[in-house]
Amino acid sequence: MPKRQRETTIRVLLQYCGVSIVGVMRMRRDRVCWLHALSLWLLALSSTGAFGQCSTPAPISAYVLNYSFEPIVDQDKMSLRVTLEFKGGASGRIKLELPSEWAGEKHAENSVTELKALSPDTTLINTESPSEKQLQFPPNTVIRISYLLVKDWNGPLNSTTRFRTDLSPEYFHIIGITSLVHPELDSFKVVNVHFDWWRLPPTWSLATSFGTDDRCQSFHGAWHDAVNSLFVGGD
């Protein structure tokens, strides 16, 4: 992302939060705005990060989730290929939740396309809700699914679009709760989540709620803290 564009983006997001750059660290009334501004500020200041393939542990339950991200550039658009891995339980069935409504944003599931099961004998079943699927699988096996995360809106980044997936060939800006597909989980359940960003271009910077410029990131804590997260990267 060019320097001038990064500076403009940061300034716009800070204006949404009602503060100046000097006052960014004093923001308290809007936690998501604080995460937006702080992460973008880190991104603008950070240098090129090291890269290499991540080594993530094999999931032992639905509370160990492995996400990997791969940018797909097609002409003047970019999407993110997201792969999720977790272990299913003894019932052989689990509810899969897609992004839905949050912070005034509706139908965030429209940004999730090409959802499919990669693991053997695993079936995705539609439900009455477009933001919910049923997964059937052999009991106690590791489940792998993938989907293509796309930008499903046009126009400027403003108060009506700032929480939606924002992707371009030069940068991306996504929020966990409106971009991560996941099994149904208790918000307060302790989870281990691993994020593999090694397929990002080596010249890109990366700033997330879980680290800066580290291509292999992890989180241990309550699920609601894992999913209420921010991910920003770019050239």
Phi/psi class of residue 103: alpha, beta or left (left: φ > 0; alpha: ψ in -120 to 50)?
left
DSSP H/E element including 179: none
Q: pTM for the whole thing?
A: 0.77
Flag whether pLDDT at 193 surpasses 60. Answer: yes
Structure confidence at residue 157 (pLDDT): 65
183-206 burial: b if 16+ Cβ within 10 Å, else e: bebeeeeebbbbbbbebbeeebbb
Stretch among 1-10, 51-60, 102-111 having the lowest mean pLDDT? 1-10
- The DSSP-derived string for 113-149 is EEEEE-STT-EEEE-SSTTEEEEE--TT-EEEEEEEE
Segment 134-139 mean pLDDT? 97
Structure confidence at residue 155 (pLDDT): 64
pLDDT digits (tens, 9 = 90+) for 151-190: 876 766 655 666 678 888 999 999 898 899 999 999 999 9
Angle separating helix axes 31-45 and 3-17, nearest 10 degrees = 160
Structure confidence at residue 11 (pLDDT): 44
How much is the mean pLDDT over the chain?
A: 80
Which H, E and C letters describe 44-93, residue by residue? HHCCCCCCCCCCCCCCCCCCEEEEEEEEEEECCEEEEEEEEEEECCCCCE
pLDDT digits (tens, 9 = 90+) for 16-75: 444 443 343 343 345 555 455 555 544 444 433 333 488 888 999 999 999 999 999 988
Give 61's contacts (C-beta < 8 A, 6+ positions apart).
86, 87, 89
- Per cent of the chain over pLDDT 70 is 71
Q: With bands split at pLDDT 50, 70 and 90, how would you rate the model's confidence at 89?
A: very high
Q: Is it true that domain 64-153+175-204+214-227 has CATH number 2.60.40.3650?
A: yes
Please name every residue paired with 172 in a beta bridge, in sequence order, or none if there are none.
167, 233
- Domain-by-domain residue ranges, the chain? 64-153+175-204+214-227
Q: With bands split at pLDDT 50, 70 and 90, how would you rate the model's confidence at 103?
A: low
Which stretch, 11-15, 41-45, 125-129, 160-164, has highest mean pLDDT?
A: 125-129
Terminus-to-terminus CA distance in the chain, angstroms? 4
